[in-house]
Chains A and B, each alone.
Chain A
Amino acid sequence: MMKPSELIDQSTGAQRRKIYSDQGIYEQELERIFGRCWLFLAHESQIPKPGDFFRTYMGEDDVLVIRQDDMSIKAFINSCTHRGNRLVRADRGNARAFACNYHGWAFGLDGSLANVPLEREVYFNEIDKNQFRLVPVDRLSSYKGLIFGCFDKDAPSLEEYLGDMRWYLDAALDAFPDGTELIGATQKVILHTNWKLPVENVCGDGYHLGWSHAGAMKATQSGDLSGFTVGNTGVDLEGGMSVAGLNGNSVLASLDGVSGYAFYPDPALALKYLNENRTKVVARLGKFRGEQIWGSQLNMTVFPSLQFLPGLNWFRVYHPKGPGKIEMWTWAIVEKNMPDELKQQILDNVLLTFGPAGLFDNDDGDNLASCTSQSRGWRTGQMPVYTNMAIGRSGKRVGLPGDIASGIVSEHNQRYFYRRWQEHMEAKTWSEVPQYNLNSLETKDEQRTVQTA
């Protein structure tokens, strides 16, 4: 297997296509990325009551997130400690206990082994039930309603992991004291793509919008997006920015405060909401975030596999199923204090644009699948692909964290994504993974350094 240092060339923005198809590289990703990073599990709003549970994945491991009787949250590997059967097969629900389908062992909400059939007759009361509790996810932490889990004891805290990305995340998650919630069922779609391709697509690829989605944009667009035109015939770089260099997390932002709702056939209700609440949000988040970030078209990425688009309001996580396959899960994210009518409209619009039959998503699936299959050949496997747009043209913007490139059409964020990927793949332990928040607001101005990947 090639070394991670040979797979990504940061100076040219090149990646070896093997990273999308090689089984060995994929297995190393399960260990060094999905086995090490903080991964999104669920939103607190999805399990509001004691006994509420939600089933998800961390890498390929099945995980169960459960609201406890004392309202705390626990997460366990969703696998029976007897013979390993999957314990819960429902997507979500509410229960008092979980009985395994195979031999009937039953577990409590807190993971304790509550009942073993024939305990006296066949185990002679000698089984130590404490030893067979469900295996907990090693670490669990929430950030503004988002529950994350991590398998690595040595990982930094979730706050450190998110780093200065929190400054941008807050514009979406903390514009109001009540925060956000996820609504709708989990929309699950199988895509025959390597997991990195949808992530790079959403984290930074504004380039494909005007071309891939030309038909969908023509059908749904009601407003402007950064002077952006259908068919990739024009773009205004001043209207947006690509922000990266935040521990592998990134943001793509238009800066007009309204374009998040540009792809609503009728955005009147949303625009009214933005109008009515703008002053409050500016008071809470400050002028820049309140006027230019909140309400704008934003692409937020938390490394490695959580992405959401405030405005279009979809919220998504990718679960890898081998090097060439993922399950893509999508919900709608809304601010809790939005009027019900607007929430309903947002859920409807998420499904119109990004659900399984979404007008935009229907364009991306085949491209991602083909980029994956075009890395499997004997010859293509040796070839590179490039994210070399506008290399070296990023820098600092006063008052904003991150290394920033102009416009939402850039490959700046993708390069930082692959740089983070490489850093993790090279590191044997967390202590070898560099932490960086470029141009941090916490650092004095003269100490800031701009690094270009």
Chain B
Amino acid sequence: MNSALSKPLEARVMLAVEKHLAVQQQLFYEARILDEERFDEWLSLLTDDIRYRMPVTERRFRKDRSAPLAFGGGYIFDENKVRLGMRIGRLQSGLVWAEDPRNMVRRMINNIEIWQGAEANEAEVYSVVTIHRSRIDGEEKQFVAGRRDIWRETDQGWRLSVREMLLDTAVVLDSNMNTLF
């Protein structure tokens, strides 16, 4: 997950200050509209070719000698725009009883790094997201994930085209991950 970071520091290029701020602002804005369940607006922040992926995490020895899994570990999220639309369609169907009454969700975005991406109009963005959810009586749960994004500058502004997420737990501690990172 550290393709840009594998470059030596001096080879990395920062964005111009205004662009840097615009991308950073976009991250916070995105977090807020998700907290506010403005899912259609969130969908419109994604490029049509969005890749949205989170692999299953496993605990392995550092010196593990076993062959990699034939089909990979699998992805908790491996979504394109159609599948994200399907998830949002479910949430908006009015038939998801676990979301009614609504869960209170707050996303915190930290450790933001913004670098010039591979294409001139792209930014490569690293961040850490903490999702705090208050569900059912007195139950508060937290997910922490590292993210690597590609944001693309378009006529409409900055749009998300890649999000790779790594969840920091091998055992998911909440009964569902019915949320977007």
Contacts and interface: CB of A to CB of B under 8 A. Distances in A.
B61 A90 contact: yes
B71 A344 contact: yes
B51 to A, nearest CB: 13
Interface residues of B, number: 45
Given A91-B170, A185-B69, A356 B86 contact: no
Interface class of chain A by DSSP: mixed
A357 B177 contact: yes
Contacts of B57: 185
B157 interface: no
Nearest to B61: A90
A408 interface: no
Nearest to A332: B74
21 contacts: A89-B59, A94-B64, A184-B72, A185-B69, A186-B58, A187-B172, A188-B172, A190-B172, A219-B93, A230-B95, A231-B95, A343-B71, A355-B76, A357-B76, A357-B178, A359-B87, A362-B176, A362-B178, A365-B98, A365-B175, A366-B136
Interface string A314-354: 00000000000001000010000000100110011011100
Interface residues of A, number: 53
A62 B75 CA distance: 26
Contacts of A356: 56, 76, 172, 176-177
A189 B71 contact: no
Interface in A183-224: 183-192, 212, 214-216, 218-220
Given A184-B71, A219-B89, A357 B176 contact: yes
B120 interface: no
A366 B174 CA distance: 10
A362 B54 CA distance: 17
Interface string A40-51: 000000000101
Interface in B64-117: 64-67, 69-78, 83, 86-87, 89-91, 93-98
Nearest to A357: B177
Interface of A: 49, 51-52, 89-95, 183-192, 212, 214-216, 218-220, 230-231, 265, 327, 332, 340, 343-344, 347-348, 350-352, 355-357, 359, 361-363, 365-370
B99 to A, nearest CB: 9
B60 interface: yes
Contacts of A214: 93, 95
A190 B171 contact: yes
A93 B90 contact: no
B66 A52 contact: yes
B76 A212 contact: no
Nearest to B91: A215
A367 B54 CA distance: 26
B95 to A, nearest CB: 4
Contact of A362 (B60, B61, B71, B98): B98
Nearest to A331: B74
Given A95-B61, A343-B71, 7 more contacts: A49-B66, A187-B74, A219-B90, A265-B83, A265-B86, A355-B76, A357-B178
